[in-house]
Amino acid sequence: MAKRRQTRDSESESSGDESPQPKRVRTSNGDDNEDARPARQNGKTASRKKRADDDGDVDMDDDLEEEDEEFESKYGKEFMDKLKQKKKLVGGVSEMGIIESIEMHQFMCHKFLSFTFGPQINFIIGHNGSGKSAVLSAITIALGGKAASTGRANGLKSFIREGQSVAQVTISLKNQGPDAFKPKEYGKSIVITRRFTKEGNASWKIQSKDGKAISTKKEELAAICDHMNLQVDNPMNVLTQDQARQFLSAASPQDMYKFFLRGTQLSQLREEYQTCMDNCHHTATILLQKKEALPDLKRKHREAWERFREAEKARAQKGRLEDLKKELSWAHVKVKEDELLAAESEVAKQERRIPKVEDSLTQAKSAFDEYTAAVEAADADLQNMAPVADLNQQKEEWREKGRKLRTQEAELKTERKQMEESYRMTKEAIKLTNDSIEKETRKLNSNTQGKRDEHQRLLNEAEAKYNDAKERLPDILEKLRIANEEVATMNVTGGNLTNELNKVRQDLMNAEGGIREANNAERNQYAAYGIRINEVVQQVQRAQWAGEVPIGPLGLYVECKDVETWGNLLRSQLGNMLTAWAVTTARDAATLRQMLGQYGNKNMLVIITERDMFDYRAGEPPEGVRTILRTLDISDEYVKRILINQLGIERVVLAESRSQGEEVLRNLGKAGNAWTRDGFGLRRFAEGGESTAPLNMRTREGTNMLFTGRSADAQREYFTRIIKEKQAEIHRLNQEINQLMMELNKKRADVDRLKAQEKAAHTAMSSAKAKQQALHDAAQEAMPANIGALESSKRDSEQEKESIELQFAELSKREADIEAEVNVIKAELEKIRVLTADYDAKRRKLQAAAGKAAEDRAQAQHNLRYMEGKLVEEQRKLDDLKAAAALTQTEFEQWTAAATEFCEKIENPRPPAVIEREQESTKRALRERERMDGRSVEKLTEEFHKAKEVYETVKATYEKTVQLNSALQAALHDRLQRWHEFRRHIALRCKFAFMYNLSHRGYFGRVMFDHTAKKLDLKVRTEDVAMTQQGGASSRDKDPKSLSGGEKSFATISLLLALWEAIGCPLRCLDEFDVFMDAVNRRISMRMMIETAKSSDKQYVLITPQDMNNITIDHTVRVHRMTDPERNQGTLAFNS
């Protein structure tokens, strides 16, 4: 059933809950008698109830008995199949209304107890006396239930733990999902705290999950329970220990039927329908009384009409007086209206001036912003330039290295001179020693001549090898130096070729982009002006504009007369202006910018300017001087004025070269600007100074088709030719680079070979020198002492000579290395010089641009301040006029409102003075007539209208009430029909759910509803159904009273689960359901309840004193074990 708001008895035990309760589930307090009414009902109420029952309930139940059987046979199997299929599925977790946790402070027998409940199945187990049932009592009390419904106390004070003065229960409810209750205020959980004292005071505190207090009113709790369908006073939702015991053991068919109606709220709904029926009967009695009073009221109305008609003549004169009053009121309004029109005319005149001033101010602001952006961009470019200090530092470091090398070179030259002198002196000493040795040798005996000759031959052979290696070494070192220089030169050449190759590749990419642009231009004439400009043009033509229709792109109206000469220059410098748009009002500028941004042209320039066809000829240079304007062919005069205002194209000179441009500016003899074909921007100042900066010749992507003078086919042919040339150039450069790399690798191999030869020569010299030393030592031993001394001296001199020669070789190598390093330094210094020159040129260009932008911004700032002051002055005038007009408007509206309230508007009233004269004469005539009649016209008119109003009101009220009462009775009858449908559906669900639940034990049973006698009977067949059917054994249905304790408890649990299928509350609580069950029935009942809970999204809280050893526990089941009760008893001393 859908959630309903029901009336609810307020608790008498809580003095703090004095606020009226919202409608909640209404249940009886004490017994289960459905027909028990409050004490205020008397015999009249009972008789009305009996009449209503006689009229509808009994007859309807008799008529529907057969329909119930047909309904059951038609839908029974379908419902049973759905029930079985549902039991096979795992239900979800409810997002709202289930209990997350509960805390009890000084509640009943617990000092402090808290639980965190699972979202589906919760078992609370423990020995008797451990306080398990207190949990259900706490849930009932916390959610606003009555103390008596717990079966534990008649008032809140009884729940306070013995010896304590205050108790508190806190419960946390889940509040998630799309149907959450006030999720912005409470969040994902609602925390409800109920506190009560011994004195009878009680209070509520409803908080969000983070502890923020939201409300302290019981109405808020009632709203929460209604929203979440929580019905803690409904015995079907929370079965206390006593109710469970009574339900399990001693319920009669009448009690079971009442329990069924109360649990499903059908009895509450029927009671409300009965109350509605009583109210309808009472209304019908009142309508009969009103109908009897209508003729008397009609007579009084007719008498008043006769008297009123006699007064109509006087009323006519009275009406004329009223007409004069009305005309006079509108005459005064007319006078004030004329004053207002005059004031509004002045305001409108002044308001027409404001937009013009605002447009001028917007233009001034736009210009100032543009120049400010230009200054900031120029400053940013200057700031973003790589610091030249790094280049200077590198330059100084290389120069320092060069100075050190030159110093080393000078030192080597000095060392070479010293070594040459030492070498010469050593050679002379060797010559003198050889002469002495030869002289002494001749004196030796001729017998030793052969041995000396052999020794001399070996010595000469070693010396020859040494000299050969020594002679080859300088040549090897020279070749090695030359090879190193050639490698360095090739590296530099390779770097230059690589840079050239990258530039040619970029040119190739630009040419390919040019072909794409030519293809786009062939398909779309607006392709060169931006993204989807053709769609922008169409939307501009369709839109509504405050001023003139925007014009653009401006390049559509501009052609270059000499594209071969000036096309590239003007394309690069005018590109942004050629894609720009122009509007006449600031409001249209914002609209157009938004429109351009929608198609991807957010940064496109929008110019705000009026259509002013001024004469620009005074600003042009003499005839014969080429300017931008004279080089362009502009088809629209408005566009021409825009370009003149924005760029000064009538004054900017075009020149072939930098020198020619400087000469033209000097000949003009005044300040001016020039653009040169070779890419320079020239500026001459009024005082005679000049500045030059390179122009940015890069074009914006997409504008390559502008100022070409060629068709799309010609443009493709042109760029195709460029592509072929660049591809050929790339091929040539790649060949040169590959050839250079081959030569470089070959030269590096030569360097490695020469280094190996250098090493081999040094090795040969060392080996020959060692052999010479060995021969000299042998000869020294054989010679006489004097010859030996001479040979030793000679050997020392030769060693010194060889040492000097080796130093010569090393010195030559060091000189070659220094020369190579000097060449590298020269190359690096040349690179730094080129980079510094490029840096200086770029910086001069940026400084010139920054200076020009700063001057323009200063002028724009002056204009902006002037226009701001102008706007303030004009606005002040407008405010004064508006204030005066507003005052007049207020007076006019007040007078008009008063006149409108007094009467309808009178067009073209006479002047007030004329009306006042006629009004005075009419008043005199009316006073004379009233003096003669005795009663005033107003009195007679008032009596007539009062009688008419009373009669018509009573008549209309009577007729509408009759219609309403009939409609209510029809609606009530329809609702009673639906009530029986509800009862039929719920009863059917209960029957088949009961049968399905019994089948878990192998039983078969029926739930038999007798709606006429208001009975609910159970019939159970405890034999195994399959065995009975197969073996043919006799079977019979048993009354529940004849069942054993376990069978009765199992059957009753099956019925309870079936009834639970019919209610929508997300919470089910049951206390000590298994006290009469044996182990087998308890195990099957537990399993059945767990399966039922798993297949639904409801939360179950089941209390049992038994353990859970034979029950399978999974993640959906949470078991809370209570500790054993504390008795605080000592040990009895039996042995003392």
Rounded mean pLDDT of 90-118? Answer: 86
Torsion angle of C-alpha atoms 1038, 1043, 1049, 1053, degrees rounded to 10: -10
* Beta pairing class for 1117-1121 and 606-608: unpaired
Most confidently modeled range among 22-36, 64-78, 551-565, 681-695: 551-565
Residue with tokens 């504390």: 1126
Cα Rg of the chain, angstroms: 59
Say if CB 278 and CB 968 are below 8 A apart.
Answer: no
Rounded mean pLDDT of 134-157? Answer: 84
Domain count across the chain: 1
The C-alpha atoms of residue 746 and residue 744 are separated, in whole angstroms, by: 5
- Cβ-in-10-Å burial (0-12, 13-18, 19+) of 32 comes to buried
Q: Of 110, 236, 223, which Cα lies nearest the Cα of 173?
A: 223
Helix (H, G, I), strand (E, B) or coil at 622: coil
Q: Within 13 Å, how many C-alpha atoms sit on residue 132's CB side?
A: 27
> How high is the pLDDT of residue 39?
36
The pLDDT confidence band at residue 78, using thresholds 50, 70 and 90, is: low
Helix axes 586-598, 533-542, angle to 10 degrees: 140
Q: Of 974, 984, 995, which Cα lies nearest the Cα of 69?
A: 984
Q: Please check whether residue 692 lies inside any domain of the structure.
A: yes
Say if CB 647 and CB 577 are below 8 A apart.
Answer: yes
Say if CB 24 and CB 166 are below 8 A apart.
Answer: no
Q: Which tokens sit at 747? A: 């030269």
Q: Which residues contact 466 (CB under 8 A, 6 or more apart)?
A: 764, 765, 768, 769, 772, 802
Rounded mean pLDDT of 738-751? Answer: 84
Mean pLDDT of the chain: 76
Task: Summarize pLDDT for 684-719 with one digit per residue, the tens.
Answer: 876 667 777 777 766 555 555 565 555 566 667 777
Task: Summarize pLDDT for 351-401 with one digit per residue, the tens.
Answer: 888 887 888 788 878 878 877 877 777 777 766 665 555 667 777 777 787
> How high is the pLDDT of residue 17?
38
The pLDDT confidence band at residue 495, using thresholds 50, 70 and 90, is: confident
Helix (H, G, I), strand (E, B) or coil at 468: helix
Q: Please check whether residue 110 lies inside any domain of the structure.
A: no
The pLDDT confidence band at residue 132, using thresholds 50, 70 and 90, is: confident
Task: Please state the separation of Cα 847 from the chain's center in Å.
Answer: 43
Q: Which tokens sit at 961? A: 């009430």
Q: What percent of the chain stands above pLDDT 70?
A: 76
The C-alpha atoms of residue 567 and residue 561 are separated, in whole angstroms, by: 9
Dihedral-angle region of residue 1024 (phi above 0 means left; psi in -120 to 50 means alpha; beta otherwise): beta
Residue with tokens 């020859």: 464
Torsion angle of C-alpha atoms 765, 768, 770, 771, degrees rounded to 10: 180
Helix (H, G, I), strand (E, B) or coil at 291: helix
The C-alpha atoms of residue 906 and residue 909 are separated, in whole angstroms, by: 6
Say if CB 3 and CB 189 are below 8 A apart.
Answer: no
Pick from 325-339, 613-627, 829-843: least confident = 829-843
The DSSP-derived string for 699-765 is: PPTT-TTTT----HHHHHHHHHHHHHHHHHHHHHHHHHHHHHHHHHHHHHHHHHHHHHHHHHHHHHH
Q: Please check whether residue 635 lies inside any domain of the structure.
A: yes
Say if CB 295 and CB 70 are below 8 A apart.
Answer: no
> How high is the pLDDT of residue 51?
45
Q: Of 631, 614, 495, which Cα lies nearest the Cα of 568?
A: 631
Helix axes 312-384, 785-902, angle to 10 degrees: 170
* Beta pairing class for 680-684 and 1067-1071: unpaired
The C-alpha atoms of residue 745 and residue 796 are separated, in whole angstroms, by: 46
pLDDT above 60: residue 196: yes
Q: Which tokens sit at 309? A: 């008609």
Rounded mean pLDDT of 146-156? Answer: 80
The C-alpha atoms of residue 1006 and residue 984 are separated, in whole angstroms, by: 15
Q: Which tokens sit at 895? A: 């007078």
Task: Summarize pLDDT for 759-786 with one digit per residue, the tens.
Answer: 787 777 777 777 766 766 666 555 554 5
The residues that bridge with 115 in the sheet, in sequence order, are 102
Task: Summarize pLDDT for 396-453 with one digit per residue, the tens.
Answer: 777 787 777 778 777 777 777 777 777 777 777 777 777 777 766 665 554 456 666 6
- Domain residue limits at 618: 528-710
Q: Of 259, 252, 266, which Cα lies nearest the Cα of 1018?
A: 252
pLDDT above 60: residue 463: yes
> How high is the pLDDT of residue 4?
40
End-to-end CA distance of the chain: 69
> How high is the pLDDT of residue 326?
82
> How high is the pLDDT of residue 75?
61
For the chain, what's the residue count?
A: 1136
> How high is the pLDDT of residue 311?
62
The DSSP-derived string for 354-391 is: HHHHHHHHHHHHHHHHHHHHHHHHHHHHHHHSPPHHHH
Helix (H, G, I), strand (E, B) or coil at 465: helix
> How high is the pLDDT of residue 106?
92
> How high is the pLDDT of residue 786?
58
Task: Summarize pLDDT for 164-184 with one digit per residue, the tens.
Answer: 999 999 999 999 988 899 999
Q: Which residues contact 435 (CB under 8 A, 6 or more apart)?
A: none
Q: What secondary structure letter does DSSP report for 121?
A: E
pLDDT above 70: residue 79: no
Residue 819 is which amino acid?
E
Say if CB 455 and CB 779 are below 8 A apart.
Answer: yes
> How high is the pLDDT of residue 733?
85
Q: Please check whether residue 134 lies inside any domain of the structure.
A: no
The C-alpha atoms of residue 133 and residue 130 are separated, in whole angstroms, by: 9
* Beta pairing class for 581-583 and 606-608: parallel
Q: Which tokens sit at 44? A: 């009249």
- Nearest 5 degrees, angle CA 454-CA 457-CA 458? 90
Q: Please check whether residue 1030 lies inside any domain of the structure.
A: no
Residue with tokens 């009062």: 946
Rounded mean pLDDT of 1029-1041? Answer: 57
Q: Of 648, 640, 655, which Cα lies nearest the Cα of 619?
A: 648
The DSSP-derived string for 382-450 is: HHHSPPHHHHHHHHHHHHHHHHHHHHHHHHHHHHHHHHHHHHHHHHHHHHHHHHHHHHHHHHS-GGGHH
Q: Please check whether residue 587 lies inside any domain of the structure.
A: yes
Q: Please check whether residue 608 lies inside any domain of the structure.
A: yes
The C-alpha atoms of residue 435 and residue 422 are separated, in whole angstroms, by: 20
**Alpha helices per DSSP H over 236-311:** 241-249, 253-263, 266-310
Say if CB 902 and CB 402 are below 8 A apart.
Answer: no
pLDDT above 90: residue 1134: no
> How high is the pLDDT of residue 14?
37
Q: What percent of the chain stands above pLDDT 90?
A: 5
Say if CB 599 and CB 532 are below 8 A apart.
Answer: yes
**Could you give phi then psi for residue 532, rounded to 5 degrees?**
55, 40
> How high is the pLDDT of residue 69?
62
Residue 526 is which amino acid?
Y
Q: Which residues contact 638 (CB under 8 A, 6 or more apart)?
A: 551, 582, 611, 613
Is the backbone peptide bond immediately before 1125 cis, with ω within 30 degrees of 0?
no
Most confidently modeled range among 179-193, 473-487, 706-720: 179-193
Q: Please check whether residue 693 lies inside any domain of the structure.
A: yes
pLDDT above 50: residue 487: yes
> How high is the pLDDT of residue 955?
83
Higher pLDDT among residues 1054 and 31, named by residue: 1054
The full 3-state SS of 577-590, as one line of letters, equals HHCCEEECCHHHHH
Predicted TM-score of the model (pTM) = 0.41
